[in-house]
Amino acid sequence: MSTNILLPRPHRILAINQETEHEYTFRVESGAAAKHGQFYQLSLPKIGEAPISVSAMGDGWLEFTIRKVGKLTSEVFRLRPGDRLFMRGPYGKPFPIDDFKHGDLVVIAGGTGVAPVRSTLRYFYEHPEEIKEVYFLAGFRDEGSILFRADLERFKARFHTIYTLDRDRVDGFETGLVTRHLGRIPFSTLTRYHVIIVGPPVMMHHTALKCLEYGVPEEKIWVSFERRMSCAVGKCGHCKINETYVCLEGPVFNYTKAKELWD
Amino acid sequence: MGYSLSYGRMNEILKELQQNYRVYAPRRWAGRGRYSDTDLIRYGEIAAVEEVVHDEKSDFSPKEIIFPITQPLFYFTEDEYRESRVDDQGLLIFARPCDINGIRRLDTMFLKNGDSEDSYYRRLRDKARFVLMECGTGWDTCFCVSMGSNRTSDYSLAVRFLPDHLLVEVRDEAFKRYFSQEREVEFTPEFVTSNPRTVRLPEIDSSGLLRKVYDLEMWKEYNSRCQSCGACTAACITCSCFTTSDLIYNENARVGERRRVWASCLHEDFTAMAGGLGFRATPGERLRFRTLHKVYDYKARFKEEQMCVGCGRCDDRCPEFISFATIINRLSDEVERLKKEASQEVAGQ
Amino acid sequence: MNHDLDIKKLRNHCYRQSKVPGEFMLQMRAPGGVIEARYLSLVQHIADTWGNGLFHLGMRQTLSIPGIKYEDIPAVNRYIKQYIQEIEVDLCGVDMEVTEEGYPAIGARNIMACIGNIHCIKANINTTALARKLERVIYPSPYHIKISVAGCPNDCAKGHFNDFGIIGLAKTEYDYDRCIGCKKCIEACAKHATGVLSMENGKIVKDTCCCVGCGECALVCPTGAWTRNPTKFYRVLIGGRTGKQTPRMGKLFLNWVTEEVVLRVIKNWEDFSAEVLEHKPVYLHGGHLIDRAGYNRFKEMILKGVQLNPEAMVAQRILWTETEYRSNFNVRPVNGVRAEG
Ligand SMILES: Cc1cc2nc3c(=O)[nH]c(=O)nc-3n(C[C@H](O)[C@H](O)[C@H](O)COP(=O)(O)OP(=O)(O)OC[C@H]3O[C@@H](n4cnc5c(N)ncnc54)[C@H](O)[C@@H]3O)c2cc1C
Ligand code: SF4
Ligand code: SF4
Ligand code: SF4
Ligand code: SF4
Ligand code: SF4
Ligand code: FES
């Protein structure tokens, strides 16, 4: 009898932090060795399952930042610390953190795309000796959708940060889409470096093209894909693009691969 | 070893087999076909061999026996959950060569893809044994020969249905004992060696060519023809997609289940995500996706063989008369044309 | 020519008076509108030999041949004897003696039908077979009755404008485990029919109250979760008519009845007509007869001895809606003044 790969396990919620009106971060008890950029299938029995990225990890806990959009995500918002959340994972290919080490790192994230890169950023924030310079360009739609305010504030001390809002004018934030501020990253002076781009599909597409224009080689660019998923273990077929299963070979892809993942 | 036996004897053996196996075969559901006064032929348990519809192709494949259309995964009570169970009765399935070969594709998906095993598939698959049914001359939509799936040796028993008796080959030692009383004869099943329909498989050998295949005009033609019903994928022996969902039986009792049901990439919501995001918005794009899965990217991933086995059920079931065999051949022609154009471009430089 | 013709009598033999003195149009019955194509040469022969070479596709699916001279009628009648024998007696099993006098009656009009499931993908019944069975019930009754049989609730046969409109229904049945929740049936039902399907817990629920029995759900379902119950069911509409005074659409009388019920009901029509018309088979639309007797009396008589199947539904009352040319209160002269005339 093979083990049941679809079996979820209950985990205790340690803390809940409201990020925005529609996004909460749940800290869940777990000793699992998740990697940066991986995701879990979170579920509530009788409600459903959904893939959610690990947005931070620590000793004995994982964090998930969830946007309320539907059945499961709405129901999760009704949970309180001490309640149980069901999980299976971690799944997917993570960011190649070891390759990033001792070089420079550029992270460009839009909206909820900040969640999957947050743990990577926190790692290098806590291990500054393992990285040279970190350039973090984060964009949100408006003031009401700013995530991880505390982290954003902390990161300023060790990273080169550019935070921008598409529309609103708020202290500490620039205005305009992330692509408008790309020019401020000194790509031409960087040598050993990697670029992470995560956000909505259109944002990733345009940002990657811009980076290429700035002379960033394709193989230095990393993106994280979001696709409809039902199983996360390469069985259900929903996430497939060509011969690639996003749940298995992704969600993190090198741009050399990602550019050929046409839908 | 081969045997010749009457239908009566075979039914007695069937009774014996049924102590250990649930026996499934394509059966006739009179008047339940898509159109009025047509029959539906699909898999069901049989009580007598006469019920086996051996001279027509079934509308649906045997995949539903090991990959049920609706399959409970877990049952939930107030604060417990429990894995769904199956009994230990074996499964004996009358199947054709293309179907048996098709099930190998399902094995690849459920047991190999992602280096993990789907235990729900495994527990039914392990119990399954096949009774190969000879095809005779085959049917007008079959193209198994082109797909190399007209033959198989993966069966326990093989059977030829003759008007007043049956010929049975027993390949699997475990089944020998059931036939010990029968008259021995020389019999091994015959396989079709040609189909009226042949397909030429496209050879897509570079991502540049694949991109051009995506952009072909031919897909657009299907925007008006395909109604995205998903009948083709439901009939297909090799389509393995599903969607998992939870439900509550009763709001107050707080009991429910997590289950999976078949899904189809032809349906509009196959890729739908929160915020209205989705991919492949047109029927043509979805048909392209299915086509490439069947005759390009499954093989690109798993190397050995194409996904499609040429059973032709998709052509039989498509209410809009969209022929998949024709799509494959059209695609091959287009690919050849694109290659020729590319080589002319190179030569012209 | 002879100017002394009993046109009423000729009419009873299915010869219709022409505006050309002494000429008639023969209307040959083709119950259900389907006959073997070889009979067309017979039609051509009549038209070319005794008619004026023309052929009309009759409004009630008769094979109509105009321009037949009065003196040729006996020859024509002798010629069509075999056709009447083959169609009416051999094919439909009508209990009648075929003579050299042509058709014995015109009262029960040719039964119309759409092509039905011998061809149509939407049809739920074999309309041709039913029309032939009905022919045996109604012919050669002198009492007037117009029946039309449609293969599905789309009613291409216009049963809504006949004394009896008989519509084939599919009782579709749902296999919970085969359903994949794709919603295609919900969409089809909403688009083509009454939108009685909805989704609950990933599966389908049907509001059986208002299913019209069209079978669209079974047509569209990719997995065969919806299939037709092999038993054929019927809807019976009554009292529809065209006409110069009060045309109106037929109304629902019976729903979800079996073929046996349909045949029994139609059989009772003759007795009902006889009662209302005091045994004088004059030409009156069936609707007028129902109006005269009143719906309740009609219902009582027409269901006499009929064993209704358990699924059957019977109209408790009927709300007729005539087009009333006599009142015409919704129609006004263009400029407020009625033109002289
Ligand atoms: C690898 C990966 C990582 C993700 N990380 C995060 C994250 O960190 N935080 C977060 O808030 N969200 C994340 N998502 C998106 C999240 O999975 C969906 O928002 C969630 O599945 C919706 O579930 P629901 O039950 O609340 O919505 P439902 O009620 O199921 O559906 C609401 C809408 O979401 C669509 N939907 C259904 N399943 C998915 C799916 N698997 N992915 C996207 N949309 C879907 C439905 O089609 C519908 O339009 C991630 C998705 C992927 C694939
Ligand atoms: S794609 Fe069509 S021919 Fe090929 S295996 Fe599937 S149903 Fe059969
Ligand atoms: S063709 Fe579509 S439904 Fe079939 S296996 Fe491939 S992706 Fe799934
Ligand atoms: S190809 Fe045919 S069977 Fe498949 S979804 Fe389109 S219309 Fe339906
Ligand atoms: S069309 Fe068939 S499979 Fe789809 S939802 Fe309706 S019953 Fe279920
Ligand atoms: S048969 Fe009934 S349920 Fe089915 S589509 Fe027609 S009205 Fe809707
Ligand atoms: S999510 Fe099921 S195959 Fe990738």
ipTM, interface predicted TM-score of the complex: 0.94
Looking at A72, A91, A110, the residue that finishes a domain is A91
* pLDDT per residue as tens digits for the range C50-64: 999 999 999 999 999
Task: Give residue for tokens 């029959």.
Answer: B39
Average pLDDT, chain C: 94
Determine whether the interchain pair B207/A260 forms a contact, defined as Cβ–Cβ distance below 8 Å: yes
Show the ligand 7 pocket: residues with CB < 6 angstroms: A 229-232, 234-239, 245, 247
The pLDDT of residue C339 is 66
User: What band does B15 get if pLDDT is binned at 50, 70 and 90?
Assistant: very high
Residue B97: CA count within 13 A, CB half-sphere: 22
CA of A243 to the centre of ligand 7 (A): 12
pLDDT at residue C332 above 90? Answer: no
Task: Give me the number of domains chain A comprises.
Answer: 2
Task: Report the interhelical angle of B324-348 vs B218-225 (nearest 10°).
Answer: 160
| pLDDT single digits (tens) A173-182 | 888 898 888 8
What is the distance in A from the centroid of ligand 7 to the CA of C188? 30
Domain end call among A67, A91, A115: A91
pLDDT band of B218, cuts 50, 70, 90: very high
In the CATH scheme, what architecture does the domain C112-169+232-326 have? 2-Layer Sandwich (3.30)
Chain C residues lying within 8 Å of B234, measured CB to CB: 180, 222-223
pLDDT tens string C103-129: 999 999 999 999 999 999 999 999 999
Closest-CA residue to C75 (of C45, C95, C104, C55): C45
Does residue B346 surpass a pLDDT of 90?
A: no
Beta carbon of B306 within 6 Å of any ligand 3 atom: no
Contact predicate C115/C34, CB 8 Å: yes
Bridge partners, C227 (sequence order):
C173
B131 inside domain: yes
In chain C, residues under CATH classification 3.90.480.20 are 7-91
pLDDT at C324: 77
Chain B residues touching residue A9 (CB < 8 angstroms):
none
Are the beta carbons of C179 and B229 separated by less than 8 Å? no
Do A19 and A114 fall within a single domain? no
In a domain, A82, yes or no: yes
The arithmetic mean of pLDDT across residues A4-8, rounded, is: 93
Residue C338 has pLDDT above 70, yes or no: no
Domain assignment of residue A108, yes or no: yes
Report the pLDDT averaged over residues C198-204. 94
pLDDT of C330 reads: 63
Select from C223, C226, C233 the residue whose CB has the most chain B CBs within 10 Å, as the one to mutate to test that interface.
C223
Residues A108 and A87 in one domain: no
If asked whether residues A193 and A228 sit together in one domain, one would say yes
Q: Look at the domain C172-228 and name its fold.
A: Alpha-Beta Plaits (3.30.70)
Domain end position, chosen among A48, A71, A91: A91
Q: Does residue B103 lie in a domain region?
A: yes
Residues of chain C with CATH 3.30.70.20: 172-228
pLDDT band for position A191 (cuts 50, 70, 90): confident
Confidence of residue B343 (pLDDT cuts 50, 70, 90): confident
Q: How far is B293 from chain A (nearest CA, A)?
A: 7
Q: Decide if domain C7-91 falls under CATH 3.40.190.10.
A: no
So what's the pLDDT on residue C329? 63
Query: The domain containing residue B171 runs over which residues?
Result: 2-65+86-185
Report field, pTM of the whole predicted structure over 0.95 = no
Please report the pLDDT score of residue B79 as a whole number.
72
Residue of minimum CA distance from atom 3 in ligand 7: A234
Residues of A with CB under 8 A from a CB of B: 1-7, 43-49, 67, 69-70, 73, 200-201, 226-228, 230-231, 233-238, 240, 242-243, 245, 247-248, 260, 262-263
Helix ranges, chain A (H): 71-76, 97-100, 114-126, 149-158, 178-181, 201-213, 246-249, 255-258
- Between CA A58 and CA A77 the distance in angstroms is 22
Banded pLDDT at C208 (limits 50, 70, 90): confident
pLDDT in tens, A110-144: 999 999 999 999 999 999 999 999 999 999 999 89
Asked if the bond preceding A251 is cis, omega within 30° of 0, the reply is yes
Q: A80 with A129, same domain? A: no
Q: How many domains does chain B have?
A: 1
- To the question of whether residue A211 is assigned a binding role by annotation, the answer is no
Domain that holds residue A141: 97-258
Q: Are residues A116 and A55 in the same domain?
A: no
Q: Give percent above pLDDT 90 in chain B.
A: 89
Whether B241 is covered by a domain: the verdict is no
In a domain, B129, yes or no: yes
Q: Note the ligand closest to the C-alpha atom of A236.
A: 7
Task: Answer yes or no: is pLDDT of A1 > 80.
Answer: no
**pLDDT for residue B274:** 82
